[in-house]
A and B are shown apart, each in its own frame.
Chain A
Amino acid sequence: MTIPILSTRRLSLYRGRRCVYADLSFSLYEGVTVLLGPNGAGKTTLLDALVSPDRVKAGQVLLDDEIVGGGKQLQTFHSRLGHMPQHWQHFSGFTAQESVEYAAWLKNVPSRGIRAAAAEALSLVGLAEQGKSRVSRMSGGMRQRVGLAEALVNDPKVVLLDEPTVGLDPAQRAAFREALRARAKGRAILLSTHLTDDAQAIADRVLVVDKGRILFDGPPASLAALAVDTSAPNPLEAGYLALVAEDSEAQVS
């Protein structure tokens, strides 16, 4: 039996006083898992909880089957975690290399290895030649890849990406996905998005969440198979829409 890299156990999450998730349990394994859901479904809330398990009021987050607590345990967890927040911002004046080096420092990469780690991370996302370029002068897609390089610089076991492809044109999205796909081996990547073509392109597994529940957990092909309209150009999107519609009807009835 495969041991999950990251899992949650009876997680209850709140936004203010409103309960967004109650008793949520799921596991992440090696490969890319795409977290799909409509706007406001709680994707960012879930990712924030995984990034900061110490702030969770009820339930547990486990890394390699060990509960992540506070203090040193949390620091160790963070040193093995890569995270790209929804609104990634660049530091004014920083080059790509410097930006990733700073992230490496935040992740406690040993001082002597920071430069090499940053250069390697940039190389992985296809920006080896742009290390000395200022991030502020880069295109949106390149900036997002700098963000991905930051998330990968500490060679993390778990990578959490919150809507990293929003605002990118198709070519930039393709480059970003390619960079991500290349780093999926040996780590669990959870990518939150509401773009089904992201899932179609790189997902090993899809989680669909809405109204505090997991509506679907399985491979992309299985989600596509739920499609009612089989002539749709994107079968995964058709399956996703059918799933959400069916759930809404069930809630009404």
Chain B
Amino acid sequence: MRAYVLSIRHSSTLFLGILIAVTCVSLAFATRRDGLNLWPDLVTGLSQSSVYTGVLAAGFCAWEAGRWVGPATARMPGAFRIASVARIIHFVGVVTPIVLGFLASLVTLAVYGLVTGTYGAPSLPWLLVLVCAIVAASALGYAIGVVGGRRWYVAPLGAVLFFVLYVLVQILPLPYGVRSLYPVILNMDSEFVRHIETTMWGQIAAFLAASAALLLIVGGGWRRSSRKHFGIAIVVIGIIGIGGVSLVQSTNGQYVTGFNSRDFACSGDIPEICLNKGYVSAMPELARRFESLNEKSEGTALTATLIEQNVEGIGDEPSANARSVYIEGISELDLSFAISRYVGKYGGGAACNLASVDIDQDEIDQFFAVSIVDTWLTGYDAAGYASNENSEMPGRAQFERFMKLTPAEGNEWLRENFTAYSQCELQLTDLP
């Protein structure tokens, strides 16, 4: 215990702990989306901070190990304690302030969440993954420090090597599951989420096994006096590590996916809009946009009556009489995109298929004709007419004429042509 306390007291990671807390909280706040107050956004920030905190942890731990290893090694030959134990205790002492810094950021965010009524909750296994990722980065730096000793370049080497390893994992043609091992790769801990905990436990096992293996190797456990125990430990760690990576690989590295929690707040009559409680601030503007859509599509099957917020992927199953809308954010662009996705899903766009190899001019015309109608309905210019004013895009003249229609004029035309529109059989010449 005394050695542990001394390791903490003289560790520069006390300062690093504060730095990590500040980094995590800053990035968590920076990742919030305007108008929304969601735990998943805060967690996304925490996940993204892993790379920065990992670089810091690797550098500081390399420095700490480098300045400790000389005096400690000189004392080991006549010591009762074995070298591995001494090193592991020192490492734990060095890494404690780092972990505490991360935990401090969690406490800060939790208090913030309680005070401001932040919607949702973080996944505990995922937070554990983030802690283990920092520990693994620290272990890497520590191992470099033990090998490099007290030299000026050891700390930068630890930090740079960590970052280079991270970049290599991202750019090499590795299986996706392996590339996703480090937390930041999938930073979309989005809207309301269901975590695939198998992946997380796999990551936890992999990070802890990597840390333990690094510490054992640099701890001198391979020496003759403790070779047998070292061998057993390495085998056990190897099994845990390979098991962890295999789990991550088997789930293709996915740990977050869309999930409709159906924790709704509903508002309005026609359309009645049900949004996840974290998104209620989007309600007025979304209602206005749906009312505008309904005005234009009145009398057709496109008219929205009951809307439930959803995300794509698992859980995209609105109630029997409801339709879903996917919202990424609540900015002007996000909401017009949300309406566009609704129209794309329930309007004519769903019937247009440009994925086949043999596309003829008719199909291209049909696609642009439907796009023009969709743009008029939603205000979202998916085909990009507005941004390509000088280009020779098919249907430009029709686009400009269509956009000048009043809601009543457009609605009258849509009622007459809805069948062709909804089956993607509309021609550019059908447009007014």
- A residues sitting closer than 8 Å to B (CB atoms) are 48, 51-52, 54-55, 70-71, 74-75, 78-79, 81-83, 85, 87-94, 98, 101-108, 111, 114, 150, 160
Contact = CB atoms under 8 A, between A and B. Distances in A.
A108 B81 contact: yes
A92 B10 contact: yes
Interface in B41-93: 67-68, 70-72, 74-81, 86
Contact of A70 (B3, B72, B81, B225): B225
A69 B301 CA distance: 89
B74 A106 contact: no
B6 interface: yes
A114 B2 contact: yes
B2 A101 contact: yes
Contacts of B6: 94, 98, 101-102
7 contacts: A48-B77, A51-B78, A52-B78, A85-B74, A93-B10, A98-B9, A106-B79
Interface of B: 1-3, 6, 9-10, 67-68, 70-72, 74-81, 86, 224-225
A85 B79 contact: no
A80 B223 CA distance: 23
Contacts of B71: 89-92
A150 B78 CA distance: 11
Contacts of B76: 106
Nearest to B80: A108
Nearest to A105: B3
Contacts, number: 69
Q: Which 4 A-B pairs have the closest CB atoms?
A: A83-B78, A108-B80, A106-B79, A89-B71
A225 B1 CA distance: 53
Contact of A75 (B3, B80, B86): B80
B75 A103 contact: yes
Contacts of A92: 10, 67-68, 71
Contacts of B1: 111
A87 B1 CA distance: 27
Contact of B74 (A89, A104, A108): A89
B216 to A, nearest CB: 19
B392 to A, nearest CB: 72
A114 B86 CA distance: 16
A128 to B, nearest CB: 20
A48 B2 CA distance: 27
Contacts of B81: 105-106, 108
Nearest to A154: B80
B80 A79 contact: yes
Nearest to B3: A105
B402 to A, nearest CB: 75
A54 B226 CA distance: 11
Of the listed residues B2, B67, B70, B75, the one surrounded by the most CB atoms of chain A closer than 10 A to its CB is B75
Contacts of A160: 78
B225 A54 contact: yes
Contacts of A114: 2
Contacts of B10: 91-94, 98
B80 A78 contact: yes
Contact of B75 (A74, A85, A93, A111): A85
Contacts of A48: 77
Given A94-B6, A102-B2, A111-B1, A81 B78 contact: yes
Contacts of B77: 48, 51-52, 83, 85
Contacts of B67: 92
A89 B72 CA distance: 9
Contacts of A94: 6, 10
B246 to A, nearest CB: 36
Contacts of A83: 77-78
Contacts of A98: 6, 9-10
Contacts of B72: 91
B304 to A, nearest CB: 67
Contacts of A89: 70-71, 74
A90 B10 CA distance: 13
A74 B225 contact: yes
